[in-house]
Amino acid sequence: MEQIAIYLRLSKEDEFVKDESNSIINQRAFIRGFINKNKELRKMSVVEFVDDGYSGKNMDRPDMQRMLELVKRKQISCVIVKDFSRFSRDHIEQGKYIEQIFPFMGVRFIAINDNYDSADYVGGIGEIDVAFKGILYDFFSEEQSSKVSLTLDTKRGNGKYIATYAPYGYVKSPEDKHKLVVDEFASQIVKRIFKEFLSGKYMYKIAEGLNRDGIDTLGVYIAVLSGSEKQLVRYREKKPLWNNVAVGRILGNEQYTGTMIYSRFKIENVGDKHAKALPADEWKRVENCHEAIISKEDFEKAAAMRKGNTCASAKRKHETYCLTGKMICGNCGHRLSHTYGGRPKYYCAKHYLDKSDGKCNISVLDADMESVVKKALQMMIDVLVDSRNVVDMQRENQAERLKQAEKHLSDMEHSRELIEKDLREAYESYKLGMTDKETYLEQRKIYEQMLEHLQENIEKQRAAVTKMADVDVPEVAGLEMLEGKLKLTGLNREMVDDFVEEIVVYAKDRVEIKWKFRDEFAEMEKA
């Protein structure tokens, strides 16, 4: 029995528009009613596909992909949607399926509200109408994104809190999820941090005290409140500790003064995933939105003290230490901190932040570690440089094998194009009445079997080409240049970032360096 696929979609943008007619329930009732009124369609079985909360800007939707897979398997003979926008808001992608893919697969496409039935538009003006509507929907999608952004900004401007989680020190009101109320326990920790800092205590000392008293870090506390077992499991594996950064985030959060802060970031173009951070003077603020935990005076005083400390610290850190951020404690897995006083060294801050753990007492001199890394890197470079002739020969052989494989793939893809052309010509011949239906169906079956078999071989060949292209050896010429720099100027931050993943310190005389190029080096050794 032939099957009809009815496709239903509702996006987040639709929710903000509050168009009742676009709800999943109403789409379903609308399409079912249309089918019941059509004698031909009424005879077919119906399969339903629903993507609730997915944008129509792309086809990467779970049920859309499931439906297309059944189309590919020839288990669907007709697709029905309420209108074109439910299927896709990308007019190019939409046109590809409606004008090319569905006709060749023998699938009828119906968009009820747009009065479109592919059975009535074969080579006519219907395709033009589809393309034009697609452009309108594409424009409408952009407009909808702007509406969503405007709606959110309006809510924020009215003092409504719309983020997923409340800031540490607050919880969302049970009566109004858009309103913040003071968390009795966490707010006391916030007050404690400000009080101790304003009294002159260093941030690492504040962190040390919080760890000593067994106070959960921000992430752990929020995970407990939200009941996120997944997060809690991760935290149990590696106990997070309060540190300078966490304390600094508390001290720098203006929301503790009762002020709502929003529009700290700006998305340049609709659809972009990354946003640009704006300077503090461009942020939008709504005062007296919720109860303050910290007075404005204390917040501003803390901000001034932090700025002064930062400037003083910057003066001390005039020299860049190239291994900073790469050093890991081999006992507890925490990143080693760096001290600039006296003889610069790396040490495990956990020893200072968590006095209950007496194992993490790692401390190594900066100069000693740079010397170790420099010697180890030099040894790696020497080995690679000595292997230049072998490497060059391998690269030439690899290039020749890849060239032959790519040519074979190109030939196979050309064969596929020829078969697809034959299939199109068979279809056109049938539609013009030059070929009867039985002959056409038999031709299509043969061509599709050929395409299926050929496509399998193409995929295998493409995978082989990709694998061959990925296999490479280190760029010896680049390493020779690095060798010269290393001998002349010593180690620098650029070299470390390029070649060192991390440095695990177990003791003063036991260090493990994990290289970024270790896999490439291993491949060269295998060859």
Beta strands in 315-443 (DSSP E): 327-329, 337-339, 345-347, 363-365
What the chain holds in terms of domains, given with CATH numbers, is: 3-155 (3.40.50.1390), 170-316 (3.90.1750.20), 319-527 (no CATH)
Cα distance from N-terminal residue to C-terminal residue, the chain? 57
Contacts by residues 169-173 (CB-CB < 8 Å, ≥ 24 positions apart): 169/250, 169/256, 169/293, 170/255, 170/290, 170/293, 171/225
- Give the pLDDT of residue 389: 55
At 102 the three-state DSSP class reads helix
229 contact partners, CB below 8 Å, separation of at least 6: none
Alpha-carbon separation of residue 53 from 137, 247, 274 (angstroms): 18, 37, 21
Name the burial class of residue 464, with classes exposed (0-12), middle (13-18) and buried (19+) by CB atoms within 10 angstroms of its CB: middle
- Give the pLDDT of residue 451: 85
- Give the pLDDT of residue 414: 86
Measured distance CA(148)–CA(13) in Å, rounded: 6
- Give the pLDDT of residue 113: 85
- Give the pLDDT of residue 123: 43
Residue stretches of the chain with pLDDT short of 70: 1, 12-22, 121-159, 164, 230-231, 234-238, 264-276, 308-321, 340-342, 349-360, 380-395, 471-490, 517-527
Tell me the pLDDT tens digit for each residue of 10-51: 875 554 444 445 688 888 999 999 999 888 898 899 999 999
Measured distance CA(477)–CA(474) in Å, rounded: 9
